[in-house]
């Protein structure tokens, strides 16, 4: 049975997020950033924000690992699905993600020479 590209892509992203150990349907941070993992939606200060698949994967991985540095290599392998990408590729995707998130993009910090992280005050919130 063929479901079409958009549906299949949504299932793949959902499976990836679950593989990160997602048990809560929502992630939330102190900067009023909310992510609904089931609906795959992102809201900043109550306003819906559209992200690309890669931006969504980067954001959910960083929030899942709040307080920990996620290396460029891991971000590349888990979100870009390649190890051969140029180092600047992760940097470019993070730059675009921060810009898309506006003020909330400041949550994503660079650990120079190591990777990226979100401050440990980001927390999971289970709301249905």
d(CA 119, CA 107): 7
Enter the tokens of residue 1.
């049975």
Condensed to tens digits (0 to 9), the pLDDT of residues 35-74 reads 888 888 899 988 999 999 999 999 999 988 888 999 998 9
Per-residue pLDDT, 83: 60
Q: Please state which CATH number belongs to domain 5-125.
A: 1.10.10.10
Q: What is the 3-state secondary structure (H, E, C) of 48-112?
A: EECCCHHHHHHHHHHHHCCCCCEEHHHHHHHHHCCCCCCHHHHHHHHHHHHHHHHHHHHHEEEEC
Q: 21 by DSSP, 3-state: which?
A: coil
Task: List, in sequence order, every residue forming a beta bridge with 28; answer none if it has no partner.
Answer: 34, 123
pTM above 0.75, yes or no: no
Residue 14 has pLDDT above 70, yes or no: no
Lowest mean pLDDT among 28-32, 45-49, 100-104: 28-32
Residue 100 has pLDDT above 60, yes or no: yes
């Amino acid at each position: 049975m063929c479901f079409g590209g958009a549906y299949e892509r949504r299932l793949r992203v959902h499976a990836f997020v679950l593989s990160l150990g997602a048990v809560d349907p929502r992630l939330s941070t102190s900067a009023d950033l909310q992510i609904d993992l089931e609906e795959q939606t992102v809201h900043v200060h109550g306003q819906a924000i559209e992200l690309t698949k890669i931006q969504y994967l980067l954001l959910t991985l960083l929030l899942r690992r709040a307080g920990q540095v996620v290396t460029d290599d891991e971000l590349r392998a888990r979100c870009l699905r390649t190890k051969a990408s140029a180092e600047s590729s992760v940097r470019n995707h993070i730059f675009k993600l921060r810009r898309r998130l506006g003020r909330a993009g400041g949550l994503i910090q660079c650990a120079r020479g190591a990777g990226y992280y979100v401050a440990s005050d980001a927390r999971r919130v289970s709301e249905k």
